[in-house]
Chain A
Amino acid sequence: MEKLKQFTSSSLFLPIVALAVLLIFNAVFVDGFLHIQLTEDGRLYGRLIDILNRSSSLVILSLGMTFVIATSGIDISVGAVVAISAAVVCTFIGGRGDGIPEHPMVLAMLAAVGAGVVCGIWNGLLVAKFKIQAVVATLILMTAGRGIAQLMTEGQIITVYYKPFSYISGTIPGNILPTTIFIAAAMVLLVVFLMKKTSIGLFVQSVGINPTASRFSGINVTLVIFLVYAFSGLCAGVSGLIESSLIRAADANNAGLNMEMDAILAVALGGTLLSGGKFYIGGSVIGAITIQTLTTTMYALGVSADQLPVVKAIAVIAICLIQSKRCQEIFDKWKARHMQPDNPEEKAVNKA
């Protein structure tokens, strides 16, 4: 009982409830939602796997975004950085029809992630060093980024025929799960490790709550903010790898389109306040998975295309309301008024 109480009051409780509600809804209304089977070539196949596979790039993005938001900043350039990273990896490997890469894939992958980091460093410089407002600073790359990606791909969609490239998002032969899940898990573990073993988390949080006080207590505020944006760039770079590998192509116009908004939403659903300060990595991860589950649900239920945004919006509003403190208070009051007279026994038991 003590454990349960601890759990219900923990920060992860509400995001988990929201996700659980969605999953239960799916399990009831969508045929074979929980069904997972093993294909002939030894891969797990099913909607749940799809959700994990497709949400992993958003999970990674939201990791970086969580830190940025915790310093009371915001990074709206991540979607464009995803497009840049996708363009870099595909131009490096090259779109040769015979499936021979122009550069080794490892080099291409490093270059793509590197390009993400460079973008992050640029954002970090603007925000931390030159003190430009985060929205404005990252807006620059948000608008310019797709142009840069277009330049690299010469306005074309580069399709990569090199087989191993599809392993990034697909399954490496012999594995039963898509690689994306491992990549996302590794990133999450890395972040958790940094949180547990170093005081970076504490620094980020204190910068978000009060940068001036943090500076006086000896924290290098500029460096912390700079690193946070660089990390967000890194995450976007990795995410771009996954996004391009999913379709085995670099589509500069559409890769990562509107993903920055989804990432911000994931962080918000996870319980981190946009005003900065306390942040919840686990919450963001669950938030990202929730968003993808929602999309999959819509397709599974066959919501028609023109109603899709509306239905999705209603679901998001509902999820936000479930998690809102004020709503909970109102609900508690309502419960207190209506429940108490009905169950005097239960009350007595609780007292005893």
Chain B
Amino acid sequence: MKNLKKLLALLVTGLMLIAAAGCGDSAGSGSASKAASGSGSGGKQITMGFSQIGAESEWRTANTESIKQAAKDAGINLQFSDAQQKQENQIKAIRSFIAQGVDVIAFVPIVETGWDTVLKEAKDAKIPVIVVDRDVKLNDDSLYVAKIGTDSVAEGKKVFNWIDEYMAKQNKQPRSGNQYNVVILEGTVGSSVAIGREAGFKDAMAAAQDGSKYNILASQTGEFTRQKGQEVMESFLKSDRDKIDILFAQNDDMALGAIQAIEAAGLKPGKDITIISIDGVKGMFQAMIEGKSNCTVECNPLQGPLLMETAKKVLNGESVDKLVYVDEGIFPADVAEKTLPERKY
């Protein structure tokens, strides 16, 4: 029993150590952004009320940072409100923005429905509303002036087009037969992102001139996680180790898992099997620098500059598109090393 106590003490100390280590590094990463500058036109400073859904992931943190930074750069006074993952908090925040009489309201809707009443109040107060990142379902689409977000279908299309170009440029030959064999790691079944990315990829393949050169050999869900991505890829390799030419992973994490499976099968990821994925997280850039992956298509959380630009246009009375998509870059392996230090998420 005495020994047990000693052990316990040791373990508790260990845990404390970890906690202490965790506290250590939290220095801000305030590298300068290349956001469109130029302070607010027309003298009077614009005030924007913005409701974010709350901390969730690195991606979301980057999203928040981008909006805060862009507001500063654009000379817009940002009233930031964190909803802590609750819709009622967001509705409260929007009501208080209306009461304050801000010039424009922007928010990331945590859920799709239930916004009609509060947005009607904003409209009655003649405050334009911009929906950011996620989608809303409303009976009356005039309740908001613009939606800003990422376009999963376009991401899927970019993936195919990049592959098509790359295969031609590198003059790669199919490893067996006369078609390139593609395997796909899908995202969570039924999620809008997974559906969009898949549809975009297949549409682009059907539309491409030499789409018939490609054959989708297998497609299975990896649930957007490394574990499943690895496990599923392992199985793909057992069936068709010498046939697979291309891996399309619908997010970077699954690709990172799959890379390890490919290595375990004695193949060279990035060479024997061309790998492309979507998101553009740091880990992927690391893998590309090591030559283990070929390309990642960005899913861009840096929506701040576009939001500010759109807000200014709206307030100047210019017309804006109802749907505005952020620029999403394509990052092949050869630019990875140069780009990594600038990556914010």
Contacts and interface: CB of A to CB of B under 8 A. Distances in A.
Given A92-B18, A247-B230, A302-B220, A47 B260 contact: no
16 contacts: A31-B239, A39-B266, A45-B265, A45-B266, A91-B21, A115-B11, A115-B15, A155-B57, A157-B283, A166-B260, A249-B226, A251-B225, A253-B225, A299-B231, A302-B218, A305-B186
Given A115-B15, A156-B58, A157-B253, A50 B21 contact: no
Given A117-B11, A159-B286, A251-B253, 4 more contacts: A114-B7, A152-B18, A170-B264, A247-B230
B22 interface: yes
Contacts of B235: 47, 50, 296, 299-300
A39 B267 CA distance: 11
A114 B10 contact: yes
Nearest to A50: B234
Contacts of A327: none
Contacts of B39: none
A170 B260 CA distance: 10
Contacts of A118: 8, 11-12, 15
Residue of A50, A254, A305 most packed against chain B (CB within 10 A):
A305
Interface string A75-105: 0000000000000100110000100000000
A111 interface: yes
B230 A151 contact: no
A155 to B, nearest CB: 7
Interface string A221-237: 00000000000000000
Interface string B174-190: 00000000000010011
Interface string A22-50: 00000000111000000111000111001
A332 interface: no
A167 to B, nearest CB: 13
A50 B266 contact: no
Interface string B131-162: 00000000000000000000000000000000
B4 to A, nearest CB: 9
B257 interface: yes
B231 A54 contact: yes
Interface string B250-288: 000100110010001110000000000000000100100
B227 interface: yes
A151 B19 CA distance: 8
A202 to B, nearest CB: 23
B226 A121 contact: no
A121 B8 contact: yes
Interface in A50-82: 50, 54
A264 interface: no
Q: Which 9 A-B pairs have the closest CB atoms?
A: A305-B221, A299-B235, A254-B225, A247-B226, A114-B11, A111-B14, A47-B238, A39-B266, A305-B189
B253 A154 contact: no
Contacts of B15: 115, 118
Contacts of A156: 58
Interface in A234-256: 243, 246-249, 251, 253-255
A154 B218 CA distance: 35
B219 interface: yes
A55 to B, nearest CB: 11
B227 A299 contact: no
B220 A305 contact: yes
A199 interface: no
Interface in B307-327: none
Nearest to B61: A155
B232 interface: yes
B232 A247 contact: no
Contacts of A144: none
A185 to B, nearest CB: 21
Interface residues of B, number: 43
Interface string A143-176: 0000000011011110100000010001000000
B22 A152 contact: yes
Which size bracket describes the interface of A in this complex?
35 or more
A117 B11 CA distance: 9
A50 B226 contact: no
A67 B321 CA distance: 63
A296 B239 CA distance: 11
Nearest to B266: A39
B340 to A, nearest CB: 10
B232 A299 contact: yes
A301 B227 CA distance: 20
A90 B323 CA distance: 42
A46 B238 contact: yes
Contact of B227 (A46, A159, A251): A251
B26 to A, nearest CB: 8
Nearest to B224: A254
Nearest to B58: A156
Nearest to A39: B266
Contacts of A243: 227
A343 interface: no
A30 B235 CA distance: 11
A304 interface: yes
A314 B130 CA distance: 47
Contacts of B236: 299
A97 B226 CA distance: 18
A46 B239 CA distance: 10
Contacts of A47: 235, 238
Contact of B22 (A39, A151, A246, A302): A151
A2 interface: no
Interface in B224-248: 225-228, 230-232, 234-236, 238-239
B14 A114 contact: yes
Interface string A270-307: 00000000000000000000000001100110101110
A308 interface: yes
Contacts of B256: 159, 247, 249
Contact of B239 (A39, A151, A170, A300): A300
A159 B257 CA distance: 11
Contacts of A50: 234-235, 238
Given A41-B266, A115-B15, A305-B220, A247 B227 contact: yes
A45 to B, nearest CB: 7
Contact of A157 (B14, B186, B226, B238): B226
